[in-house]
Structure 1
Amino acid sequence: MQALSDCNYALSLDPDNVQALSNRGSIYLLAKDAGAALADFERAISLRSSEAVLHFNRGVAYDDLGQSDLAIADYSEAIKLSPDFAAALHNRGYQYERKGQRDLAVADYEAALRVKPDLKQTLRRLESLRNSL
């Protein structure tokens, strides 16, 4: 895969290249290698902890690894850094829903929809929660 080769090359030139780490981590997520993705996102966050998308992506990796509490913590950090991060609000809401914390899930889904009203998956999740009450 050319994109992975490009990231590896960029990192061979500069191991602290946050963009290359983030891109490679995203490639690993798409390839269903959450462990490798997690390592890249952790390194990127250690270099630039103020980027919301890095915390979001690490949250996705934790989610893929079945580590819900760590995923929630990272989604929360992404939201703290970027309060209008609709995808982070949705994903955190979904984690809360899976844990049976309906009120928190509804609050996050509603917040995500205030930011981005056309999120179909969020609309479906919220409707499903409301119908199950």
Structure 2
Amino acid sequence: MFIDGYAQGNPYGYNDLDEAYLTEMKAENARLTKRIQSQPEPFQKMNTEATYAIRNKDYALALQIALRMETAYPKNADVKNFKGKIQSKNGDASVAVQSFSEAVRLEPKNNWFYINKATAEAESGDIQTALKTINTLIAQSPDWSIGYNFKAALLHSMNKDAEALTAYNDAVKVKPESAQIFTNRGDLYLKSGQKDKAVQDYKAALAIQPDYERAQAKLNEIAQSTVSKKDR
């Protein structure tokens, strides 16, 4: 199958995916496996070739295989998505946007295709279009916290922290519960000087996932800062 990480991407600005995110990504990879297994033998053979190319970090070859697959199966959304991932890996985010757009057009109910498309749009510098893509995702999947978290990250990158906070508030009301989301909101609270609310969010993150390192690190920083001030 297309190996893990190529069914969907690491959302914009997230370098510390938590268990909630990883569980969602694994679930999509499992669905992808079933979709691939339902394809004809030539498709599966090319898919295996692509998998080996990626494992060998031969992304040029992987892209060649993706293009062959696209020629043979022009209406397969997973192939379009895979091609976009390879293009992004090769640093061609603006080109990848078109591939992800085609994936969304062919399979508009796949949430991760929107995530990948918005990620490529943001990485190519088009934050406004990325925000529109995520708003479309949220409209169709209003109970998915990952969409709101992505929206908040985009808004924060635009220095719209009040709107970002609203998006985080929406995110924590729906599933999956995410240590990352609470930590992200805590960071925003901390930035605005609301330390008590930040501490509450970091603790909430650790209640969801006790080993989530960023939340614990933030609590340690706050504690150390408080001790230092008392020692002055």
TM-score (norm. length: structure 2): 0.51
Of 173, 176, 179 in structure 2, the residue corresponding to residue 119 of structure 1 is 179
Could you say which residue in structure 2 is the equivalent of 1:94? Answer: 153
- Unmatched 5+ stretches in structure 1: none
Deviations 1:50-69 (A, max 9, x none): 43322221111111011111
Larger Rg: 2
CA distance in 1, matches of 2:75, 2:160: 38
CA distance in 1, matches of 2:86, 2:141: 23
**Is contact 2:155–2:164 with CA below 8 Å preserved after alignment?**
yes
Higher helix fraction: Structure 1 or Structure 2?
A: 1
Q: Kindly provide the amino acid, as one letter, of the partner of residue 111 in structure 1.
A: D
- Which runs of structure 1 show a deviation greater than 4 angstroms over 4 or more consecutive aligned residues? none
Name the counterpart of 1:21.
80
**Unaligned regions of 5+ residues in structure 2, if any?**
1-49, 55-61, 193-232
One-letter amino acid of the structure 2 residue matched with residue 64 of structure 1: E
How big is the shift at 1:80?
Answer: 1.2
Structure 2 residue 146 is the aligned partner of structure 1 residue 84: no
Q: Which residue of 2 aligns with 1:56?
A: 115
Over the aligned positions, Cα root-mean-square deviation in angstroms equals 2.1
Please state how far the C-alpha of 1:126 moved relative to its aligned partner. Answer: 1.0
**2:144–2:176 contact (8 Å) kept in structure 1:** no
State the percentage of identical aligned residues. Answer: 17
Greater length-normalized contact order (CA 8 Å, ≥ 6 residues apart): 2
Note the alpha carbon deviations across 1:57-109, whole angstroms, 9 max, x for none. 11111110111110100011111111233322111101111222222211222
One of 50, 65, 68 as aligned partner of 2:127? 68
Offset, 1:6: 4.1
Aligned pairs, number: 132
Letter in 2 for 1:61: A
In the other structure, the counterpart of 2:94 is 35
Contact 1:113 1:119 in 2 (8 A): no
- Specify the alignment match of 2:13 in structure 1: none
